[in-house]
Chains A and B, each alone.
Chain A
Amino acid sequence: MTIANIDAAWIDAALTAACPQAMAALLRYFRDLDTAEEAFQDACLRALKAWPKNGPPRDPTAWLILVGRNAALDGVRKQSKSAPLPPEELISDLEDAEAALVDRLDGEHYRDDVLRLLFICCHPDLPATQQVAVALRIVSGLSVKQIARAFLVGESAMEQRITRAKARIGAADVPFGAPNAEEREQRLTAVAAMVYLVFNEGYSAGGKELRTRGSLCDEAIRLARLLLRLFPSEPEIMGLTALLLLQHARAPARFDAEGAVVLLEDQDRSLWNGRMIAEGLALIDKAVRHRRPGPYLVQAAIAAEHDRAERAEDTSWTRIDLLYGDLEQLAPSPVVTLNRAVAVSKVAGPQAALAMIEPLAPKLSGYFHFFGLKGGLLLQLGRREEARVAFDQAIALANTAAEAAHIRLHLDRLMKEGAG
């Protein structure tokens, strides 16, 4: 690889890294998503030409904001010659302006901008898929093509989805003022949930889709780290970042060469990413000091219990059961209880776990994992016919081919044993 190649890679990485902050600042200035997006893209194009020639600027983000702003203002002036010219300070010599801007952009100024941008993406009027799509488009700067590939839909369908979402955001009364402390807290919760959604889009992908969708996991981790830098003392953001790292660390072992699911207990743990695990554990360590455990932190602690076990049989299911108990209190949901039942089956046996999940049936009648676990527990208890019914229901509800294939393995085994 030549130096020039590295430079191209560096510019690419720098543009990606600057995207949330630059987009956020441009959005505050123009108060219009499309204009801000065009301005940022324009600035990126100019960076690709200018940086290799002149060397990269001292602060790439500030450069992009300023150049993007000027380019967009230029466009506006060309479109309406009668409009008054923008204030001179905004289009004056780049060098001076950059220095001034860098001072203004230092430190905390980015914080509310980026938070506002992320919050706009998780506007409550938007369905979750649109939130994620818009966030990836606007905050991560992924192309429509990349996002469409990740969601396994056509490019034009994704374009439509994003356009609709933007129109809805445009029609809604989006607050552009700096958020107060209470709003900030509400927004942070919504934003954390959206980052988690982005991650899950990638995480729930099957083996064959992993290459395209797995990058969504990386993107979510990048966003979580960004949030953590903006809010360095929020234990739940530490917990969220840790959770994503600890789950994604296992990605290289989650599917076999054919793309079939490899269960946690069967995974080759030497394939797990040790650096991600170390980072996740360090973040939990930091968060625990705050003594304000929230749902993300507890989930991260559960993931940590798995990641720390060198062999599957070293897993402390007792501690996992206790942690799920905490989670049930902090964020009660039938899915949490279902997950706890897995730990209970290891600690107290399948009968206890089955008794625990049976009351969940009405709420989880459309949930793949409910029937998967139920089938597994019934099988352990030797109730084969009931197990087969549960597995059939699971297959009907599977979200990915890999999920269905995994249950089919159980069924095949049942059939064979039944015949033999």
Chain B
Amino acid sequence: MLYAILCYNFEDVVGAWTAAEDALVMARLGVVEAGLAAAGRLGAVGRLLPTTAAVTLRKGREALVIDGPFAETKEQLLGFYVVDCGDLDAAIDVARELAVANPARGAYEIRPLAVYRPGHLSEARAKRSPRVLGVKA
């Protein structure tokens, strides 16, 4: 069974990490990821830019684009993992490992996936910037 592990944390606090603190946490999470990858259990992994970079499309008769994240919450969705786990207990174990690697506050939401399409995007795509055209009105 595939599980999504959704990472929630205080954006303010994570955003206030120094580059060194950030790198340390990422390195420790990287060790957990590498273990899962070596076992052939790791799917897509994503880290999201701050919620200030988000827009939300509200569906309706006429879809409305709103600046900001879907919901103003105390903890924000900051990233996700897709992991292949035998059962829920195994998925919780993975979340526990992640929590040891990044023991700040926050929470991991563990949700089984109903549909999974692995896609074909390479990592380099994340580094490609959006096109910014003229800003003239």
Contacts and interface: CB of A to CB of B under 8 A. Distances in A.
Contacts of B12: 13-14, 17-18
Nearest to B16: A13
B118 interface: no
A286 B24 CA distance: 31
B132 A288 contact: yes
A171 interface: no
Contact of A232 (B21, B67, B136): B67
Contacts of B24: 1
Interface stretch (A273-281, A342-350, A404-412): A273-281
Nearest to A304: B132
A326 interface: yes
B88 interface: no
Interface stretch (A70-78, A89-97, A221-229, A260-268): A221-229
* B contacts with A: majority SS: loop
Interface of B: 10, 12-13, 15-17, 21, 24, 49-53, 55, 65-68, 72, 74, 103-105, 126-127, 129-130, 132-137
Interface of A: 1, 3, 6-7, 9-10, 13-14, 16-18, 56, 58-59, 107, 222, 225, 228-229, 232-233, 238, 241, 274-275, 277-279, 281-289, 291-293, 297-298, 301, 304, 307-308, 319, 322-323, 326
Given A56-B105, A283-B52, A293-B135, A225 B130 contact: no
B52 to A, nearest CB: 5
B52 A9 contact: no
Contacts of B55: 286, 289
Contacts, number: 98
Contacts of A286: 53, 55, 67
B13 A14 contact: yes
A10 B67 contact: no
Nearest to B12: A17
A267 B93 CA distance: 45
Contacts of B74: 58-59
A79 B48 CA distance: 51
* 9 shortest interchain CB distances as A-B pairs: A17-B12, A232-B68, A282-B53, A13-B16, A232-B67, A13-B13, A293-B135, A233-B67, A228-B52
B130 A285 contact: yes
Contact of A326 (B129, B133, B136): B136
B104 A232 contact: no
Given A17-B12, A293-B135, A307-B129, 10 more contacts: A7-B103, A9-B21, A14-B10, A222-B15, A238-B67, A277-B129, A279-B50, A298-B135, A301-B135, A323-B134
Nearest to B74: A59
Contacts of B51: 229
Contact of B135 (A56, A222, A297, A307): A297
Given A286-B67, A292-B137, A301-B132, A10 B104 contact: yes
A232 B112 CA distance: 33
A225 B50 contact: yes
Contacts of A228: 52
B29 to A, nearest CB: 13
Nearest to B24: A1
B135 A323 contact: yes
Contacts of A222: 15-16
A282 B130 CA distance: 7
A278 B52 CA distance: 13
